[in-house]
Structures are given as C-alpha cells and as structure tokens.
C-alpha cells in the first residue's frame, strides 16, 4: 500500500483501467462526449473481454488476503481514500459536469455527498450476534464476505452510485470489479486510480466497456454478487444472468414516482418544490417526480404556476455560471425524450416548453404537460427527461389507485398542510421511500431500495453494508 497521496495527482489523468493494482491502457479506446456540446472532449481506455477476465482474476486472487485483514485496516484504507478525495472534490465535480452535463453546483453536491458516504461507511462495524447462549449451546451469527463483487452503475450519478457499492463491499472484506456506464466513465476511472493508491492490488478494479461487457461480467462464475444500478429492463437481464450461479444481487432500478398534492396544499409555496423535484438533473434522477396528481380544485392554478416557473429555468452548459438545468446526458436519452415530447403533444396540452432546443448538445426545454390521459406513454413510462405530466383527480382514493397503477415502486411524495392526512396517504403508496412535504432527503444511515419492479435489496446504512455479506451461523455444542 502506498500511503503517499502525491503520486495520485498525476497518474490518473490518462484515464486508464485499474487492473490488479496497475493503471492499464485499454485494448481499445472510448470517446467521451460532452453532452453540452455533443462533441468528444476526452478519450479513455476501454477493456476487452480478456481484460475483464484479468480484472476478475485479480479480484479473485486478492480476496482471501483482503478478507482476512482486520476491519480496522479496511476502514483505515477507506478513510485515507476519503482524505485525498476531500482535497479533490472540485476536480471531480468539473469532470463530472463535462461528462454528465449536470450543473456544476449539482456536481459539487454529488461529490460532497460521495465523500460523506465514504466517511459514513468507514464508521460502520460488522458485529457478531449471539443468537443463543445456554449451558449446552452457543450459537453465533457471523457475517462473512462474499467474494468478488461486480458493481455496475448508470450514467446519471456515477459517483453517488459507486459509493453506495464500493465502500461497503470493500469494508465487508470483498474485492470488486467496477464497471461504469459507457457515456460517463471518467469520474469512476479517476476515483479508481485514487483508491488504487490505498488498496492492495486487485482489491478494486475498474473496467470500461461500450455496453458489451456488463452481461459477461454478471454471468461470470467467479462473481459472487452483482450490485447493479440501471434500468428495470437491464436489471431483469442481470437477475437472469445471476441465476445460473445463484448469485446475490442488489438491483436499484427505474422509477415512475408519483407526487400527490392534497387539496389543502398551498400552490404558490409548493409549485417551486414540485418543479425542482421533477427537473433535478434535467429529470434524470431515478427518484425524480415523474407524475404530478393535483386535486381538481387547484388543478388550473398549479398548472399555471408550474408552467410559469418552468419558463424561467435557466438552461445551459453546466460549467456556465447561473445554469440551473443542463442537457440530457446522451444522444440515446435525447432521442427518447423527443419521442416523449411527440407523445405529449398528441395526448396532452403542452403549457411550457415542448421542444428540443436549437443549439449544439442534447438540450430539451423544461416542459409541463396538462390534461394528459393516464395511458399516455409520458404517464406510463419513465421519461427520465425534463417533461412533467400534471394529472387531475377528484377523489383522493382514485389518485392513490392511479399513483399505484404502475410496475414501478421506487419513490413517492405527498404534499399537504394536514400532516396526519398526508401521512395516511403516504402509508398507502407502494414505494420503497415515501416523503411527506419533502423530497430527496436520503440520510446516509437510512436504507434505500425499490418496491415492485424498481429493485431488490437495499443500499446505504448498516443494512446496505450487510448486503455485501453472507450470514454464517456457528452452532457450538458444549
Ligand atoms: P442501463 O440499464 O441502460 O445501464 C446501466 C448499466 O448497465 C450500464 O453500466 C450499462 O453498461 C450496463 N449494462 C448494459 N447491459 C447490461 C447487461 N446485459 N448486463 C449487465 N449490465 C449491463 O441504465 P441507464 O440508462 O444507464 O440508467 C438509467 C436508469 O437507471 C433509469 O431507469 C434510472 O431510473 C435508473 N437508476 C436507478 C437508480 C436507483 O437507485 N434505483 C439510480 C440511478 C438510476
């Protein structure tokens, strides 16, 4: 282990893979596009299948020794990583804005959150639990590490998603092969090179693909668990791929989160919060508000207010000061958003935005749509774009039924002044996390996961740490 962080500052700039403790050139290279310009701004290493095999073999070879270290040693390594990462947050944030398109302030928040998450995991412990203690028996539950973990992430919050996986995996004594999404590989490679300075060879490996290695990684016999964040469609493939080895999976998948606005809500106060919750990261957040249900008595007022505010949003390059919303992250998502706009025009009334912007890059106007049917694509599917459908309801029970009428179950929000009533509604929503009069509050010590087809298992907190372990019951006769 190298305790001198100085070497970290120069090594990773070439954006190489991390395999067996070394920074390695890719068998191929990958162009990375800045979504604010639509142009290539960086090139990085891309792994071949053989390099993926090397990464898995390195993680497998490193596992026995790493699993046998004391947790204090693993914790110390994570703390050293956090200390250096803390000095480089701005560098990571700028790079994140360039590769993801998100406004710099949001990227800074992502990096600060990633740092906090690293530090929070580094404080956790894995305790043995005595389940039974009698004159003749002592039964203890221990938590053994699993082996080699595959961590596969989406492009919307590469660092947030990575620090929900790598620190608990490594703290629990596992080794790991990380694979970011092909359109946002750079911050993950930079972080991998940083971590590599403080971890023994093979404990953390990072490979990059072009959507061609995820399936192979998932199915590889030497992978013990797949910690995955991405779409529900890919999550199903991961689950199927893991079946042959009865591998553990944690799946953090898509969402189509409803917001229910109760009839006692204050429209003026609430509209900015709802809009912010829908347009955060240009709508590319698994937990973004994706359907807004408003009581008929306030429907017109809420629609007008949301439209007014949407027209005021400053859209631009995330590196420009004052930008509130950036572009969509990639061309495929941009094309998908245009289809949602077409659908919205056909099946609803567009009252703000409604068009791609006439400029380079993948920009969509912040869009609000009213009077749209529940079976329109914009309402049924996850738009992952700054396009907000506003739906009218008369009976609250009907709003709850419609909110639950989806295969997704990630998050939901309820907004109203009568807390008791709002909380009762919250209890009826089928989601992993339901907020009342707030949104996206995700404390580091609170587990997070999806209901229904939004996921399996949890991340964060003690529960998120223990997902990277196998319970082992030791039953002693005496
Ligand atoms: P995606 O499913 O297309 O890709 C996610 C990752 O899976 C990428 O790294 C990709 O290369 C990899 N992959 C592709 N094919 C694979 C395969 N056959 N086997 C294994 N891995 C494979 O998702 P995306 O478009 O990158 O991300 C957007 C989606 O992620 C949205 O649905 C969003 O809601 C979801 N998401 C969920 C959470 C959560 O915590 N629940 C958080 C962020 C994003």
pLDDT in tens, 153-201: 999 999 999 999 999 999 999 999 999 999 999 999 999 999 999 999 9
| pLDDT, mean of residues 414-431 | 98
To the nearest whole percent, how much of the chain has pLDDT over 70? 97
Which residue's alpha carbon is nearest to atom 22 within ligand 1?
214
Tokens 């429209």 correspond to what residue?
267
CA 230 to centroid of ligand 1, rounded, Å: 2
- Using the atom order of ligand 1, give the atom closest to the CA of residue 215: 19
pLDDT greater than 50 at residue 8:
no
Task: Give DSSP secondary structure letters for 98-153.
Answer: HHH---HHHHHHHHHHHHHHHHHHHH-----EEEEE-SSEEEEEEEEE-SEEEEE-
pLDDT by residue (tens digit) across 236-279?
Answer: 999 999 999 999 999 999 999 999 999 999 999 999 999 999 99
13: confidence class by pLDDT, cuts 50, 70, 90: low
Cβ(158)–Cβ(188) under 8 Å? yes
CA 8 to centroid of ligand 1, rounded, Å: 29
pLDDT greater than 60 at residue 1:
no
pLDDT greater than 50 at residue 4:
no
pLDDT by residue (tens digit) across 362-404?
Answer: 999 999 999 999 999 999 999 999 999 999 999 999 999 999 9
pLDDT greater than 90 at residue 2:
no
Which residue's alpha carbon is nearest to atom 26 within ligand 1?
154
14: confidence class by pLDDT, cuts 50, 70, 90: confident
Length of the chain, please?
478
| pLDDT, mean of residues 312-338 | 98
Q: What is the pTM of this model?
A: 0.96
Stretch (H or E) spanning 24: strand 22-24
pLDDT greater than 60 at residue 3:
no
For the chain, what is the mean pLDDT? 96
Task: Find the largest Cα–Cα distance for the chain.
Answer: 78
């Amino acid at each position: 282990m190298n305790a001198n962080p100085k070497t970290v500052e120069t090594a990773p700039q070439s954006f190489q893979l991390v395999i067996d403790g070394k920074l390695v050139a890719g068998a191929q290279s990958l162009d990375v596009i800045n979504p604010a310009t639509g142009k290539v701004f960086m090139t990085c290493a891309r792994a071949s299948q053989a390099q993926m095999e090397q990464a898995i073999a390195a993680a497998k070879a490193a596992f026995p020794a790493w699993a046998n270290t004391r947790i204090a040693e693993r914790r110390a390594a994570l703390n050293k990583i956090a200390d250096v990462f803390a000095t480089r947050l701005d560098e990571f944030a700028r790079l994140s804005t360039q590769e993801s398109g998100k406004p710099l302030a949001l990227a800074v928040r992502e990096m600060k959150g990633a740092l906090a998450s690293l530090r929070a995991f580094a404080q956790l412990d894995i305790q043995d639990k005595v389940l039974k203690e009698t004159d003749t028996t002592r039964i203890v539950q221990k938590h053994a590490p699993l082996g080699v973990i595959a961590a596969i992430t989406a492009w919307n919050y590469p660092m947030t998603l990575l620090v929900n996986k790598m620190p608990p995996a490594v703290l629990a004594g596992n080794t790991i092969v990380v694979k970011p999404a092909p359109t946002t590989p750079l911050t993950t490679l930079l972080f991998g090179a940083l971590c590599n300075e403080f971890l023994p060879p093979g404990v953390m490996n990072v490979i990059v693909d072009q959507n061609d290695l995820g399936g192979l990684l998932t199915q590889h016999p030497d992978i013990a668990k797949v910690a995955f964040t991405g779409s529900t469609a890919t999550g199903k493939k991961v689950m199927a791929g893991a079946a042959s080895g009865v591998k553990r999976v944690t799946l953090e998948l898509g969402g189509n989160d409803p917001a229910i606005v109760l009839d006692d809500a204050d429209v003026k106060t609430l509209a900015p919060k709802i809009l912010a919750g829908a347009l955060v990261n240009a709508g590319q957040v698994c937990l973004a508000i994706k359907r807004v249900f408003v009581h008929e008595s306030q429907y017109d007022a809420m629609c007008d207010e949301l439209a007014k505010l949407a027209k005021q949003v400053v859209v631009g390059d995330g590196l420009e000061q004052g930008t509130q919303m950036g572009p969509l992250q990639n061309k495929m998502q941009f094309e998908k958003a245009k289809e949602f706009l077409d659908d919205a025009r056909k099946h609803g009334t567009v009252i703000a935005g409604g068009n791609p912007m006439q400029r380079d890059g993948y920009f969509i106007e912040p869009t609000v749509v009213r009077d749209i049917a529940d079976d329109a694509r914009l309402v049924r599917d996850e738009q992952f774009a700054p396009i907000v459908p506003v739906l009218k309801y008369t009976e609250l029970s009907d709003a709850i039924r419609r909110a639950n009428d989806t295969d997704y179950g990630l998050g939901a929000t309820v907004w109203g002044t009568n807390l008791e009533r709002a909380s009762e509604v919250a209890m009826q929503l089928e989601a992993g996390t339901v907020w009342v009069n707030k949104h996206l509050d995700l404390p580091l010590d609170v587990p997070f996961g999806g209901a229904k087809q939004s996921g399996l298992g949890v991340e964060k907190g003690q529960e998120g740490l223990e997902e990277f372990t196998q319970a082992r019951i030791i039953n002693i006769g005496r």
